Structures are given as C-alpha cells and as structure tokens.
Structure 1
Amino acid sequence: MKKINYLAIAIFTVLLNACQLENNKAFKTKAITKAESINTMKTETWEFKPERDRYDKNSLLDLRYLNEKVAGETGFIHLSPDGKDFVKGNGQSIRFWAVNSYVWRKSYQELEDHARFLAKRGVNMVRWHGQIVGKNNNKTLKNIDKKAREQLWQYVATMKKEGIYLTLSPYYAHALKSQDNWQIPRDSKDFSGLLFFDTELQQAYKNWLKELLIPINPYTGISLKDEAAIAIIQLQNEDSLLFWTFKNLKGRDLELLSNKYRDWLIKKYGSLEQVVKIWKNVSIEGENVKEGKLKFYEIWHLTQPENPNSGKGKRLADQTQFLTETMYNFNQEIKQFLREEIGAKQLINAGNWKTADPLKLNDAERYSYTATEVIGVNRYYNGGIHKGEKSNWAIINGDKFTNRSVLFDPYSFPLNLKQVANHPIIIPESSWVPPLGYQSESPFLVSIFQSLTGIDGFYWFAMKEPQWRQPSSANGYLPSLGKWVINTPELLGNFPAAALMYRQGYIQQGETVVREHRKLTDLWNRQIPIISETKTFDPNRDQDTNNNNNQSRNKINPLAFLVGPVEVTYSNNNKENKIINLNSYINKKDKIIRSITEEITWDYGQGICLLNTAKAQGVTGFLKEVGEIKLNDLIIKSNNKYATIIVVSMDNKPIKRSEKLLVQLGTVARPTEWKQKEITWKDKQGNLQKGLEIINYGKAPWRIENNDIHLTINNPQLKKAMLLDSNGLAKQTMNLKSDSSQISLQLPTDVKYIILE
C-alpha cells in the first residue's frame, strides 16, 4: 500500500497557491473494498425523524431570501452577452439550484407547502417532467391531457409565488404508449426517434404545444407562453437518432425515414447514380440504391473505426450527417414555431440525451442541439452496478450492488461535461442513486464543480412528496425501497450550505482550460476528439451495451473537466485548439487534481476533496486516516471514516470575520435494520465483480451515522453555537472554546446544522 505525506503535498500546493494541507499526518490508503464495507460495520447512529416543517419565523436556516419575491418579477430569463450563462430580466446573473418534482400531481395546498419547503432549502428551479399527450381513450392523436395541464397551471402558480422558476419537459418518447386509433407508430414497437421526422406526429406535437402554452392559466391570469416564471422549454426528453434505440424503427416508419434519406442524398450529390459512385458501389443486403430503396447501417457500425476515404466510410459519414441534420432541422423548426406561431418567450433546450458512443457521436448530438439556446444532458452516478429483478426502479432484498464513492472514480463524475461555446448547459436529471450509500458528498461536489466550470443548472431527480421521504415502497405496495428519490437526509438534507455557496458565488469560475474546435466533416466521419465525456448508465436502455469508461483513446486526460471549463465549437472553419498546461494541475502519479482557481483539491487515491475559499471551506470523503486537515481558516479532525463538512458564511463576509456561519454535516444514512453482506459474482460479460448483497432493505425511519468530528475556526469573535433541527429551529445552545485567534468545538453526534454567532 502506498503512503502519501501531506506535508509534501502541502509544499507542492503552496508553490501552486492551492489549498493548504501542510502538517497533515502521513496515512495509508485503504483498499476500496474496505471503503465499500463501511456500511456493514457496527457504527452508532441517530434517528432522522423530522417534524413537519411549519415554516416557523424563528427558524435560523431559511434560504427563501435568496429567491426573488416572485419568480420572473424583472422579466424573462435570457442569455448573458456571451451566451454562456443565464441572466434575469434586469440583466443580473442567476444560478439555478434545481430539482425534479412530481408533487405537481398532488393538491394545490400540497404544492404550496412543497414550494415553500424547497425555497427554504435553497431551490430556485423545478422541472415539470410530464407527458402532455392525452392518455386514456384518446380518440385523436392531437388531444392533450387536460388534467396534466391543470396540474401544471397550479404548479406554475405555487412555485412562482416562492421565487422558483420552472423548466417544462412535456414529451418523453420512451414512456409514451400508443393507442390503436392513433396508427402511430405504424410498425415500430415504440415512439423512439419518430418525432424527429414523422410529419404526422410533428403536427400533433405542435398542436399539443399550442394547447399547453396558449390558454390562460386560471391560477395566474397569464398564458404559459407569456409566463416569465417559466425559464426553459425542453422540446423532448432522452431521445436521439444516434442512440441504440435507432434499431426500434421498423417497417413503414423506417421506410419513411429512408425515403427522406434518399431525397437528402439526391439534394447533396445531384442523383442516385452519383451516390453509387461516391459510395464506390458499397451496398447493404436487400437494398437497391439506384432505385431509391435504401437501408441504414445499424447504429453499431457508426461506433466502429472505418477509413473515411473508403466507400463504406463515405456512406457512414453520410448516414451520420443525415441523422444529425434531421435532428438539428427538427429542433430549428420547433424553435421557430414556438417563437413565431405561439409567441413563446422562454429559452429553449432541444434535448438532453446521450449517444451509442461518446467518443464518436456525442459531438454530433450536441451540434444538433445548437439550433436552440440551451444545451442539456442527463447524467447520473450510481456507484457502479445495481443488479436485481426490479433494479431499474426499486431496491429489494437480494439485489447486488457496488458501493463505490465517486471520490475514487472521478472519471464517472456526472459534471464532466464538454460545454458548447456560447451556450449555457444544464443537467436536467441527475443524482447519486441508491443503493449507493456514499451520498453526502454529492451536494458538496455538485456545488463546487458547477461553480468552477460554469454549468448552469443541475436538477436533482426526484421528489414525490412535499417534504421529507422516509424509507418506503418504490410504488406504494411492493416490499421495496424507492430508488429515484432525493428528499432524504444525505441528499436534500445537505442542500442548504451547498446551495448557499453556489448561488452566492463564493466559489470562483475558472478560465477555460481546453477549447476544442471541431469541423463538421470530422463529426460526420466520427473522428475521435481531443477530449470526450465518458459513458453513463441508464437502467432502462443500457442492458445490452458495455458501459465501461475508456479514457485511453482521449488525447487529453478527461480529468481536465475537474481543472476548469472545457469548451467546444462546431463549424467548418479552421481554428486552432487551445489547451493550458494541465501537468501543473493533474498529478497522475499521486492521483491528485487541483482546480485552475486554486480553490479545490481532489485526491482520488485517498478519496477526499477539499474546498478552500474565503467564504466557504469544507471537505468530503474518507477522512479518519488523514488526521488533521488544515484549510485557510479551519482545522478538521474526523473519526468518521466517511463524512462531509462544510462551513459557509451566512453574512457574505469571509469566514475569519463572519458574524454568522453555517456548519453543515453529512455522513451515511440507511433505513432502520438495513443489512448487507460482501459477495462476488460474474456479470454478463463474465467479469468478476466484488460488491454487496442486500439482506434486508430495512424500514422507516432513516438512521444516520453519528458525527465524531472536531472543528477549529480562525474566528475568535464567534461566541456560541446553536444546534438546529431539520427545520432550522434551535434545539440547543453551546458555548464555544476560544482564545485570541480561534474557537473550537466537538461537533454533537446527532445534528446536521449548526449556526455559529
């Protein structure tokens, strides 16, 4: 096992003006299997059973003041002058701390409660992820779900009153079920890909948008198209012609697309005879190109190497270009329709999905989004593997999983995104998905790296209850735990400090570290870029694909995403790439990454990440072996094997001069009586996996591992510590030990929030 001397790291850090870690004790790396075993150890815990929040005026932790009095009070959200960021109607910059919520399906009173609950914890954006198409006995494809629209109207009204903006996601092909009288899809098994080219479906889709956006919302007196509280409209969710679901197109649906391909080729080359010549007579079995009867290569072929000058290479390039331009043209058409025919004033996001190969196809996908203002991509982290009978939506006994903290796996970090220059980028869905136990790290990491790289919105997925959720069935009756939940102690419970320091700009945005230019012809030829994102998991559509991350084919280490912003531009102009010297920030030998701003240090060998700014400081990870961690104004000594500690100013003053600090703590939360055991098994590829099996998924309430942390702060004017409950109400006051330069306290075992004054 290796040893790292933190004094040596500190000397190197000082040379870079990075975080001050000197004088930390040397410590040995624990094998990751040891880290995975943390939840099987017998640790002391405390019961998380919060009272219902009544929004008592005496609450000492209420971030509602960060929001506008009414969302959209200064006008519509629009783009900054450089196109990269969001600004309010008055031109002031705005950052979004966002959630996906299904509480819109509940009553108006529950929605009011929900909005206030979210605003109190730092949320200023929610996503309405619905399906506006009529569901039951819908005699015509053009009809919308009027109940869903009524619920959306209420959702808008209640969120707006609490200063919370909305993102609308009204169409999800994967979840849409056809009805016999629609006659769409014609022969395909589902709606995947159809919206991009089926003119009959597109016409119905336009009618849905009219019925959704034009009528007056009776709860506000304003139509949704004129509603400034709605910031973004997403055209569709998780669909692409460059993903594996392309194979779902069959029969007449596929023929419709192939006929459009034929016409596109004739327009490009002049005739089908010329196409045959360009393709060097390469054909697919069963087609006749000269007669205009074409077939498509399966999407797998677009992921494989091919000489671009060969006949097949030229044909694959044409197929890639056609599919990409088909999506681009649809996005452009609907944007124009929303602007000119409906009069919608919101920003538009074309899509948020991935492709069959992030190396070869992701840039083509992103290019198709540039027809609209906002780029999007859904990316989750799940700790590696979750395998079980119902693992796509539930957690049950017998499930197998790997419990790997992202702190050991920075290549899988969801915010590793290549941003399109002059476009804001959002992550409309994400989370650290259970049964992964290492969740307290996530709000902290999202906050600091969203700040560093300028990502404009991270939407946690998802909430179904107005307030907290205790461990409970995934669907209300199956003996199980819900999987896609965030209103839990170590996710939503760790929002306040993370949201505060992100939204207040306490963490610097870095200068761009990689600026890549990609010619469109390189996209069509699927040339490997200098840097790419890694593959991500999807529980519903990745079962037959290999999602192992492959960094070896990148010319630039993907850890550059954690140093600072990475940007790309698309055009046929010749422009040079610009890359800073990353060797000063990425130490592959010691597995240490430092941000270009010198405020963040990630040691992925030891599994810790530190933040060191004037107004916000903290650490997350496997801390016990480190000994003392010294930051600019803090000394942290943890006996917790894994924990997250954030200290953030609540009065916008530096920590060392602040008169009010928030201390926020996170460890590990599991249901009562949760039991797991270590096992090994073989996956579908025959690889041996080492992880855990769930023996008992437990029951309510949550139990949280006790805090065992000592904190010293260089601020002697602080006199008392007020221990808060989950609603921000003081439940106990403690005096602080102090001298002329600092205060110190042993943090109580059973508290998440402490106010120091």
Structure 2
Amino acid sequence: MKKLICALVSLALGLNVSAQVPDKSWWTFTYNERASADTSLLNLRYLNERVAGEHGFIKLSKDGNSFTDVKGKPMRFWGTNAGSLAQQFNDRQLDSLARFLAKMGVNIVRYHGDINAKGKGTGLTDVDTVEIRNIWRCVATMKKYGIYTIISPLWPANGHMGGWIPAEWGIDGYSGRDDMWGVLFFNKRLQQGYKAWMKYLYTKTNPYTGIPLKDEPAVAFIQIENEDSPLFWTMSNVKPELKQMVGAQFSQWLIKKYGNSAGIKDTTDLIPIYDFTIPVTARTNPRLHDQTEFYTETLKDFYDDLVHYLRTDVGCKQLINGNNWRTAAQSRMLDLERWANSGPEVIAVNRYFDPQHIGPSANWRVDPGDFYGSPSAIKNPGDLPVNIKHVSGHATAVTESGWNLPNRYQTEGPLLVAAYGGLTGLDAYFWFTQTAIGYMANPYFTFLKVHGQHPLNRWSISTPGQLGMFPANALIQRLGYVKEANILQEQRTMKSMLNRDVPPIFEEQAFDPNRDFVVSNNKDQARFSPLTFLAGGVVSTYNSAADTVKLAADLNKLIDTKSGKVISITGEERLDYHTGIFTLNTPKAKAVSGFLTTGKEFVLGKVTIQSDNEYATIELVSMDGLEIGRSKKILLQVGTIFRPTDWAEEPATVTDRNKKELIGMKVINTGKMPWLGMPASGSISIKTKVIKKATQLDAAGYAVRKLGLSVAGESVSLKLPTDAFYILLEK
C-alpha cells in the first residue's frame, strides 16, 4: 500500500517533483560585497534615522495601537533576531553586520540571550558581565546605523540560562541541569534575582555610548521574558517543591476570595493543564474556575509588578512587553494570556510557518533521510504567522518567525508578512534567525556527518529565499504602502474568558483548504473562519461589559470557500488558496506570488506581470514614494526556488505524532554550497511615461548589466533574465 501511495504522490505532483532537484539550468547565487558600499544601487540605509532614537524614545500612537516617534510619525519595524551574534563577533564584524542589515532595510534587531550569571558557585543576584557587555556593544553598534534593539534577557528552557541552575541560588527543587518553566511567576526569591539582573543591565553606564540603557532611546521596547506561562503545558511538569509553593499561594488566594472557610488548605493536588483545555461539563471540578482565575491573576500581577519596578525603581523610559508565548489551548486560554500581558504596552507572539519537518534532530538541523511537507502558506493560509488578534490600545509585534528550511517556498514569506501585516496593523516583525554578517557562506554543521553528509542549519534566514527578499518588503512594511483596515472588533467579558468559553475567533485554528472546515487541535470550533484574518485586522477588547462582535463588512462577500478565494476589505490583497496565487495591488507596490503557471498573466492596475514559473514571487515597489505609474525609481524583485547544489529528494509519506498522514518529500542529499536558483521565466510591463532604463543588480545591489526595455505607446516592458533577483527601473 505504501508503494502505491508513493506512486500516486509522484503522479499527483507531476512536474513539481522533478523540478525540486536543481539541474544545470539553475543559476548560481553569489554575494560579493565590495569594500565600499557607495556604488551599490540598492542600499536602504536612507530609510533609517541618522542614529536610532535621534528623535527620542519610541511612543504609542494616540489610540495606543501602533508605534510612533516623539513627533507622532508612524514607526514600523522590519527586524531580525541578529543581536546575539555579538556573542561571537568582534567589533569590526558587528559593525559589518549592522551596516549590512541597514542596507537590506532592517531597522530593529532582537538580542535573545540570558543575562543571569552562569555556572556553579554563582550568586542569585550576580550577572553575566560578558553577556551584558555584548548587549551594550550591540545596542551601540546598531544605533550608529539607525537600527533599534530590543533585549530578550531570559528564557527558562533547559540548556538556556547557562544550562545549569546553581544550588547557591536557593531555588527549592531546582539545581543542576534543570529547566525553570513557570518558576519565575511564583518564586519570590527568583524574582528578586531577576530584578537584580535587569537593574544591572539597564542602570549601569554603557561604556560604548556613555549612558545607561534606561536612558537609551535606541532600545525600542523592553521584553521581560521569552516563552513561558503558567497557562502552557509545562505547568504540569513542574517540580514537587514548586507545586507545593503554588498550592500554598493558591490556598491564600482562595481564603482572600472566600474567607477562611473549612476545606481550604495548602495542597499540591493542582488540577492539570489538560483540564483547562476541554469544555466544562457536569463532571468538571468546580475548583477549576478558581485555579484558572488564580493562574491568570498571578500572571497579570507578575507583569504589572515588573512594569512598576522597571519604571519606578530602575527608571526605564521605554515601552514594555511582557512575554511572547502561547497557551495549551489557544481557543480557551489565549485571551486570558493576552489580558494578563496587557499591563505592558506591547503585545508579542512567537510564531513560525512550519515546513512539516520530521526527523531525529529536526528541532535544529536537516539530515539526509528527514521528511518535510514543504507547504506553501498561499495554499495553507490558516497557518500564516501574522494571523493575530490585536489587543486594543496596544502595539503588536512578532518577535520570532520565519519560513524555516527545508521549505522550498521561502520567497513568499516576506511578501505575505509585509502585505497582511500592513493590512492588519502589525507594528514589528523579527525574522529568526540571522546566522552571518550577510548570507551564510556555509549553512552546514561541518562538525557532523550523517550518512556521509553534513546536516543543514534549519533555523538560518541568511539564505537567498528569505533574506534576499527583504528589500522590497521592508519598503512596503516601513513606508506603509499597504492600507490598514480592521474587519472585526471583538469585546470579551472576564466572565466568558475565565469560563474558558471559545471566542468568536481565535488564533491557530486548524484550517483544511481542501475541505473548507474550521476546527482547532482540540476540536473547538469558532464562529469565524481563520480566513477572516486575511480580510482585515481583528481587534479584541478585554474586560468588557458584554461579549460582542462587530463586523466592518459582509464576510460572505470577501471570503468564498467554495472557490477558495479571499479578498481583503481594502481590495488590495487577493488570495486564491486553491490554485495557490496571491496578488498585492496598491498604488505603490504590485506583486504576485505562488504557483504562477496556474495564472500566467496578472494585471495589477498599471502593471502586468506574466510568468510561467512553476513557483515565483515577483514584486515591483516604488523607491521614491510615488505611485508606480509616476515613480522615477522602482525596485523589481524576483525570487523563485533556491536549493543547495546537489540537493536531492524523493516523494514520501509519513504519519505525524497526531496520527495524521503527511505527503511530502524525503531528503536524499543535503547538498553543498553554493545556492542555486530556479530560472525566472516571464516579463513585466508598466504603463508609464517615466521609466526609461533597466539595470540588473547582483545580490549586493551593484550594477551587473543594462537590460533592454521595450516601449509600446505609453507602456514599457521587460523580459526577465533567467537569473533575475534585483532589477532597478529608473528615469
């Protein structure tokens, strides 16, 4: 049967299978930065401030929903998780990194590290001075190039925080090679240590700038902690000592709520998180509602206390973000998590587009023999990372995300983020993760061999298909080329949230585009499809007087599940998830992405894009702020499929841990450098009297050759070179 299935998969994929393995027609990707960037024709450094924070600290807009500078000018961020490269880079290398990122359109980085002291014998309030100096160095270097920084100072996962919890810290039950999930929210002693670490980080004078970080406007906002919550599965696996501590605090909470009545006593018999994820029935323990309320209030009190401490005791002037994590059931608890995080001004989340990668070491590398489904978000729009409920009065950031390797459809990612992020009002997006000054020359773990091959780094965005697509989309995101509009306003009462009622819409609903139904992984069903996120922004208000939903338009006119089409409320974004075509049509940005042989010609106002590429992302973006038909400088950016040299794969099927059958590919050979690009095939035409010249650029933005433009009436047209990547169209 399995052989039959594989044969059918091969037949169904047809040409799509044979095209995945690079052949001799694919072009070689190279990046050669010259000694001076002055002659580069594609350098977006001018978008950044002279120095980050030159006009003062980042603020919230009047309605609180977005970032501005002190003068009220909108500030939109296109970022990467590149800050922690300071751990391995010297000053010259760090400076080169900052210069490269600014050139690519980046105006913010995230430093993801751990500032606590590490190793046996260290004190609870001690800090890692080497890590903190690297943070200071990062902030100072990025600042010079107009790049802001946010700092992620703590992740309690095993192997982080130095990989060792010293017994000297006195954290009951935790020492040695332990993780610290959930501990910080309940353990007052650890909270004292955390406050000491943050106070040192933000109040000591940064020797590279002469001012402490608390007074540093180049720090855009402060992140308190990375990926932890008592509303997540990890709460069911805490140590007995922490359970006892939590139980004692819960008992005191119950006494405060109900009085010192009989039956309330310290207990470690806490209700497991699984019970939080299922509907209330007659058999549900009545104490579950109280425990839900206790966990949520404890979480909110924790963040509110940290905000007060950072503002009052430390003197920080920046905006603050609490956390960026999810819950054990997004349908029933995510709104509680977001409410608990609503004391700080910034709401954040970490979300990736999953390549359905399965293998023994798939959490960090790609081995020969691994399976991957390589879905396209264009055909699986319910999984788009920017499908986020925004919290009214708060800015929204995605602090970790990416189209991770070995996904072959990486080039769609930056366009979809810029397009739908702009539509829904996303304020900052951080790609995870930058692994080199520029493009990673060797994305392999050369110290390892599996079946005679080197494994590939699955987390790097320093690839042509991801990093290479930054410039056009940084322009779209940062210059506001996409019109923002909300489609749904939701109000929720604390009663319905604490009852864990399923809201009208929630994030990460499983959506099967072939069957057109909406369910979550725990069978909860929402009133509104996740396709609603593609029609416009979804905004939630918490602690309301009543549970209400208000729509700005008739969704039935925007979403057609029968034909597989979604149109945004603005009309600028159109998605056909059945055939796999996405188009963006705004006055200053035109783009198409997906499986272009299904459409071949795409008319977007004054621009027509023709292509018979199996898969490609083709964008035209104004570089001078004028509409495309009047612009004197346009970036034409082309991305297809990129694969390492000698990459090989074959059709395969696997069963995942949820016993769902996945159809995809088995990696036969992880290949070697350099990257190869599938040849571009097609042309573009523009109705314009302005554009007279076309220059093909290399990956570093330097002129390679002049291209011939064809003029017909008031239109110019250009046949795409097979190795098209960046092309500058000018007056």
User: Common fold, TM-score beyond 0.5?
Assistant: yes
How many residue pairs align between the two structures? Answer: 700
1:54 positional shift: 3.4
1:136 positional shift: 2.8
Distance 1:218 1:187, change over 3 A: closer
Equivalent pair of 1:374/1:426 in contact (CA under 8 Å): yes
TM-score using structure 1 length: 0.90
**Could you tell me how far apart the structure 2 residues matched to 1:70 and 1:185 are?**
46
Aligned pairs for 1:539-558 (under 5 A) are 553-558=525-530
Match of 2:534 in 1: 562
Match of 2:362 among 375, 391, 394: 391
Three-state SS of the structure 2 residue aligned to 1:337 is helix
Distance 1:690 1:548, change over 3 A: farther
Match of 2:64 in 1: 83
Match of 1:318 among 276, 285, 290: 290
Gap runs ≥5 in structure 1: 1-29, 274-288, 537-546
The amino acid of 1:415's aligned partner reads: V
**Could you tell me how far apart the structure 2 residues matched to 1:552 and 1:199 are?**
36
**Could you tell me how far apart the structure 2 residues matched to 1:207 and 1:571 are?**
33
1:432 positional shift: 0.4
Distance 1:34 1:556, change over 3 A: farther
**Could you tell me how far apart the structure 2 residues matched to 1:571 and 1:231 are?**
28
Aligned pairs for 1:523-672 (under 5 A) are 523-534=497-508, 553-574=525-546, 576-579=548-551, 580-672=553-645
Match of 1:302 in 2: 276
Distance 1:138 1:466, change over 3 A: farther
Match of 1:180 in 2: 167
Gap runs ≥5 in structure 2: 1-10, 511-518
Distance 1:401 1:140, change over 3 A: same
Aligned pairs for 1:191-210 (under 5 A) are 191-210=180-199
1:632 positional shift: 0.4
Percent identity for Structure 1 against Structure 2: 40
Equivalent pair of 2:502/2:524 in contact (CA under 8 Å): no
Match of 1:94 in 2: 75
**Could you tell me how far apart the structure 1 residues matched to 2:586 and 2:487 are?**
20
1:78 positional shift: 1.0
Distance 1:187 1:66, change over 3 A: closer
**Could you tell me how far apart the structure 2 residues matched to 1:48 and 1:41 are?**
13
Match of 2:667 in 1: 694
Match of 1:168 in 2: 151
Equivalent pair of 2:21/2:647 in contact (CA under 8 Å): no
CA distances 1:251-289 after superposition (whole Å, capped 9, x unpaired) = 11110111000000110111243xxxxxxxxxxxxxxx4
Equivalent pair of 2:381/2:577 in contact (CA under 8 Å): yes
Residue 60 in 1 paired to residue 60 in 2?
A: no
Equivalent pair of 1:534/1:551 in contact (CA under 8 Å): no
**Could you tell me how far apart the structure 1 residues matched to 2:122 and 2:524 are?**
53
**Could you tell me how far apart the structure 2 residues matched to 1:560 and 1:223 are?**
44
Aligned pairs for 1:152-167 (under 5 A) are 152-167=135-150
Equivalent pair of 1:317/1:524 in contact (CA under 8 Å): yes
Match of 1:121 among 104, 108, 123: 104
Distance 1:233 1:697, change over 3 A: same
Distance 1:506 1:482, change over 3 A: same
The amino acid of 1:730's aligned partner reads: A
**Could you tell me how far apart the structure 1 residues matched to 2:323 and 2:267 are?**
31
1:312 positional shift: 3.4
Distance 1:251 1:695, change over 3 A: same
Q: Which moved more, 1:79-88 or 1:52-61?
A: 52-61
CA distances 1:73-126 after superposition (whole Å, capped 9, x unpaired) = 111001111000001122211100010013211111111111110001100000
Equivalent pair of 1:617/1:631 in contact (CA under 8 Å): yes
**Could you tell me how far apart the structure 2 residues matched to 1:682 and 1:37 are?**
24
CA distances 1:328-365 after superposition (whole Å, capped 9, x unpaired) = 00000000000000000111000000011110111111
Three-state SS of the structure 2 residue aligned to 1:117 is helix
Three-state SS of the structure 2 residue aligned to 1:360 is helix
Equivalent pair of 1:722/1:754 in contact (CA under 8 Å): yes
Three-state SS of the structure 2 residue aligned to 1:328 is helix
Three-state SS of the structure 2 residue aligned to 1:513 is strand
Equivalent pair of 1:462/1:485 in contact (CA under 8 Å): yes
Residue 254 in 1 paired to residue 240 in 2?
A: no
**Could you tell me how far apart the structure 2 residues matched to 1:107 and 1:36 are?**
44
CA distances 1:306-344 after superposition (whole Å, capped 9, x unpaired) = 13xx57353111111111111100000000000000000
1:629 positional shift: 1.3
**Could you tell me how far apart the structure 1 residues matched to 2:286 and 2:222 are?**
36
Equivalent pair of 1:534/1:550 in contact (CA under 8 Å): no
Match of 1:226 in 2: 215
Distance 1:751 1:572, change over 3 A: closer
**Could you tell me how far apart the structure 2 residues matched to 1:685 and 1:643 are?**
32
**Could you tell me how far apart the structure 2 residues matched to 1:509 and 1:691 are?**
36
**Could you tell me how far apart the structure 1 residues matched to 2:401 and 2:658 are?**
27
Match of 2:8 in 1: none
CA distances 1:365-388 after superposition (whole Å, capped 9, x unpaired) = 1111001111011000023x2111
Aligned pairs for 1:697-736 (under 5 A) are 697-736=670-709
The amino acid of 1:146's aligned partner reads: T
CA distances 1:688-711 after superposition (whole Å, capped 9, x unpaired) = 322111110011111111111211
1:548 positional shift: 6.6
The amino acid of 2:338's aligned partner reads: R
Match of 2:4 in 1: none
Distance 1:77 1:414, change over 3 A: same
**Could you tell me how far apart the structure 2 residues matched to 1:550 and 1:740 are?**
59
The amino acid of 1:653's aligned partner reads: L
Three-state SS of the structure 2 residue aligned to 1:529 is coil
TM-score using structure 2 length: 0.93
**Could you tell me how far apart the structure 2 residues matched to 1:549 and 1:723 are?**
47
**Could you tell me how far apart the structure 1 residues matched to 2:484 and 2:367 are?**
42
Distance 1:473 1:41, change over 3 A: closer
The amino acid of 1:493's aligned partner reads: G
Distance 1:34 1:737, change over 3 A: closer
Equivalent pair of 1:262/1:292 in contact (CA under 8 Å): yes
Equivalent pair of 1:716/1:739 in contact (CA under 8 Å): no
Residue 504 in 1 paired to residue 479 in 2?
A: yes
**Could you tell me how far apart the structure 1 residues matched to 2:269 and 2:34 are?**
59
**Could you tell me how far apart the structure 1 residues matched to 2:611 and 2:201 are?**
53
1:139 positional shift: 2.2
**Could you tell me how far apart the structure 1 residues matched to 2:401 and 2:205 are?**
32
Residue 74 in 1 paired to residue 45 in 2?
A: no
